[in-house]
Amino acid sequence: MQRNNFLLFSAALAAACLFSLAAGPAGWSNADIILNLRLPRTLAALAVGAGLGLAGALFQGVLKNPLSDPYILGTSSGATAAAVFCFLAGIERTSPVFFLAVFAGAFGATFLSYWLARLAGRLSDAALVLAGVAVSAFLSALVMLTLTSSGARSFSLFYFVLGGLYSVQPGVLLVSALLIAGAAALAMARWRALDAMALGSENAYHLGISPERERVLFFALACASTSAAVAIGGTIGFVGLMTPHIVRRFTGPSARGLVPAAALGGAAMLAAADAAGRSLFSPAEIPAGVVMALAGAPFFMWLLWKSSRGRN
């Protein structure tokens, strides 16, 4: 990442953090509330945002598809479905089984979308999005069916599915943050492979990179990062879609700058969105997932419009 860009992203991140720490009905003079309430929540928003931004950048790079992100591809839905089944089975959010199950759900759903899109032969943007939508819709329906028929605790689980950061368990935050940091470090170390993948499978192969192996690896990293984010905040969409597009304008297409910038940008974006959600309609709170969908869905439409114009 260039020095100027690094400063820019740091400034954006710092501004989002300040907003998140200062926004709220108690104002900004109550040190107790800032330290004990807003700080943990800001950290959670940063971790989730970074995880989703990272996953978005990895998916978009490895699939060469500007419309992909963990929400569109079904990764988040897979993770959410697995998490909901874990809650109903009584598996604690801090247990390793929970993280493994959520990861398996995310990875399974992503591969299913990918496999479905490839059935048509050449992997097209539209096929991938369609396959992702189909997988997401099916998994969401499964979750809704489970919640409707289970009855117990279903309201708080609906809230989880909606996505938000109302109550964050410190243990979950710690484990998830470590997972996301690990995935980010591994992805950054392999930026060359990601850049080679962007040139197409054949070119990557000639550059001495095995596209099949790298694809599985980057999928795994993106899924680990997504599932860690879902474990904290449920299904929050569009962070992974928007941030890579925004930061790419500053960093250029190389994964070397793009991947860390997407993580930082995602962190800043979600911290700001969450702070807005909990302070704008006080005393009521709007879940961060809803704020992101409000901002992100029009962005997605704009991307579709842009990509359709690019083709003509």
Partner 1 sequence: MKHKKHIAAYLPPVPLLLFILLAAAPLKAEAKRVVSLMPSYTEIIFGLGAGKDLVGVSNFCNWPPETAKLEKTGDYMRPNLEKVYSLKPDTVFAGAWADASSSKQLSSMGIKVVSLPEEKSAAGIFATVRLIAAELGRKREGEKLVRKLTALMPVKLPEKPLKVYLEADTGGWTAGGESFLSDAVRLAGGRNIFAEEKRGYFQAAWEEVLLLDPEAVILLSGTEEEFLARPMAKGLAAARAGRIITGLDRDAFSRPGPRLFTEIKKLGGLLGVPDAKK
How far apart, in whole angstroms, are the C-alpha atoms of residue 71 and residue 257? 23
Interaction between residue 166 and partner 1 (CB under 8 A): yes
Q: Which is nearer to partner 1, 125 or 285 (CB)?
A: 285
CA neighbor of 57 nearest in space, from 218, 250, 284: 218
Q: Which is nearer to partner 1, 129 or 236 (CB)?
A: 236
Q: Which of 51, 61, 287, 289 binds partner 1 (CB under 8 A)?
A: 287
How far apart, in whole angstroms, are the C-alpha atoms of residue 13 and residue 271? 9
Interaction between residue 33 and partner 1 (CB under 8 A): yes
The residue range among 85-93, 162-170, 196-204, 218-226 that interacts with partner 1, by the rule CB under 8 A, is: 162-170
The angle, 0 to 180 degrees and rounded to 10, between the axes of the packed helices 75-89 and 96-118 is 140
Interaction between residue 202 and partner 1 (CB under 8 A): no
Interaction between residue 38 and partner 1 (CB under 8 A): yes
Rounded to the nearest whole angstrom, what is the least distance from the CB of residue 94 to partner 1 in the complex? 12
Interaction between residue 6 and partner 1 (CB under 8 A): no
Q: Are 28 and 34 in contact (CB under 8 A)?
A: yes
Q: Which is nearer to partner 1, 189 or 284 (CB)?
A: 284
First to last CA, the chain: 33
Beta-carbon contacts of residue 299 (< 8 Å; ≥ 6 apart): 238, 241, 242, 245
User: CA of 200: how far to CAs of 59, 67, 136, 217, 235, in Å?
Assistant: 14, 17, 27, 16, 31
Q: Which of 4, 96, 155, 312 binds partner 1 (CB under 8 A)?
A: 155
Q: Which of 51, 74, 105, 164 binds partner 1 (CB under 8 A)?
A: 164
Rounded to the nearest whole angstrom, what is the least distance from the CB of residue 280 to partner 1 in the complex? 10
Task: Tell me the residue type at 117.
Answer: A
Task: For residue 252, report the phi and psi dihedrals to the nearest 5 degrees.
Answer: 80, 175
Q: Which is nearer to partner 1, 41 or 245 (CB)?
A: 41
CB atoms inside a 10 Å sphere around CB 298: 11
How far apart, in whole angstroms, are the C-alpha atoms of residue 108 and residue 224? 12
CA neighbor of 21 nearest in space, from 89, 236, 259, 29: 29
Q: Which is nearer to partner 1, 43 or 242 (CB)?
A: 43
Interaction between residue 19 and partner 1 (CB under 8 A): no
Interaction between residue 283 and partner 1 (CB under 8 A): yes
Interaction between residue 137 and partner 1 (CB under 8 A): no
Interaction between residue 156 and partner 1 (CB under 8 A): yes
How far apart, in whole angstroms, are the C-alpha atoms of residue 234 and residue 48? 9
- Torsion sign across C-alpha atoms 30, 32, 38, 39: positive
Rounded to the nearest whole angstrom, what is the least distance from the CB of residue 279 to partner 1 in the complex? 8
Q: Which of 7, 14, 26, 297 binds partner 1 (CB under 8 A)?
A: 26
Q: Which of 3, 4, 31, 32 binds partner 1 (CB under 8 A)?
A: 32
Q: Which of 190, 278, 289, 296 binds partner 1 (CB under 8 A)?
A: 278
Q: Which is nearer to partner 1, 44 or 127 (CB)?
A: 44
How far apart, in whole angstroms, are the C-alpha atoms of residue 88 and residue 210? 40
Q: Which residues bind partner 1 (CB under 8 A)?
A: 24-26, 32-33, 36-38, 40-41, 153, 155-156, 159, 164, 166-167, 169, 278-279, 282-285, 287
